[in-house]
């Protein structure tokens, strides 16, 4: 029996298609078998936000499926996987997952992941949030999903958007127990001289540069 890891990747129509694309690249580099489904809105977003064609994105995956194919392998719990990542995850997709409304393959695959007690990571892309969004996040979490908005980590001192994306995806893959690349990780406060004079701003407020 093969011991190769197997992850389902969903790309929905929320802004941030590059998150799913980068996840596919890192999973490929890590030797993980990927099963990709892109929603109709996700296909449109890829064209709007990136220089990639949908065909190029599909080529990054080991296996691909139409979002209308509710009879696909990933629609059944008997098809074994090691979890699923939805990157980015739109509120519409979150709503479908939270309410088990399996109208398309992306939501069905996520629902299967939850019912089989596998790890489901949702990179929710929406802001600001109203109470309805928060309730949906709570419902999905109660069912076992992990809500992970792709927020930048500034302690790594990113030099580009690509740095932020790489760190966000690496942290998401951590949640699926997959190590990828040379992601910088937190190792405690950097040393600094707490006895040094504290600079004062023009309005008399303290200017803090370092741990608080």
Annotated binding site for FMN: 13-15, 39, 90-93, 125
Question: ∠ CA(191), CA(196), CA(188), 5° rounding?
Answer: 15
- Which candidate, 48, 42, 2, places its Cα nearest to that of 23? 42
Helix crossing, 131-142 with 91-98: angle to 10°?
50
Is the preceding peptide bond at 88 cis, omega within 30 degrees of 0?
yes
Annotated binding site for dimethylallyl phosphate: 155, 171
Annotated binding site: 13-15, 39, 90-93, 125, 155, 171
User: Are 32 and 2 spatial neighbours (Cβ–Cβ below 8 Å)?
Assistant: no
The contacts of residue 179 (CB under 8 Å, 6+ apart) are: 30, 173
Pairing of strands 63-65, 33-38: parallel
Q: Is 34 helix (H, G, I), strand (E, B) or coil?
A: strand
**CA–CA distance, 26 with 61 (Å, rounded to integer):** 11
């Amino acid at each position: 029996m093969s011991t190769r890891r197997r992850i389902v990747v969903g790309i929905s129509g929320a802004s941030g298609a590059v998150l799913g694309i980068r996840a596919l690249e890192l999973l490929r580099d890590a030797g993980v078998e990927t099963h990709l489904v892109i929603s109709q809105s996700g296909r449109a977003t890829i064209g709007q936000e990136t220089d990639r064609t949908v065909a190029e994105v599909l080529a990054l995956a080991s296996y691909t499926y139409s979002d209308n194919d509710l009879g696909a392998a990933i629609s059944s719990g008997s098809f074994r996987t090691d979890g699923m990542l939805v990157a980015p995850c739109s509120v519409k997709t979150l709503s479908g997952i939270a309410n088990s409304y399996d109208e398309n393959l992306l939501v069905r695959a996520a629902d299967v992941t939850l019912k089989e007690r596998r790890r489901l990571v949702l990179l929710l892309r929406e802001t600001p949030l109203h109470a309805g969004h928060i309730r949906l996040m709570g419902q999905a979490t109660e069912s076992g999903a992990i809500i992970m908005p792709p927020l930048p980590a500034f302690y790594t001192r990113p030099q580009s958007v690509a740095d932020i994306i790489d760190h966000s995806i690496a942290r998401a893959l951590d949640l699926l127990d997959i190590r990828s690349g040379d992601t910088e990780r937190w190792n405690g406060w950097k040393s600094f001289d707490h006895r040094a004079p504290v600079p004062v701003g023009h309005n008399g407020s303290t200017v803090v540069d370092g741990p608080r």
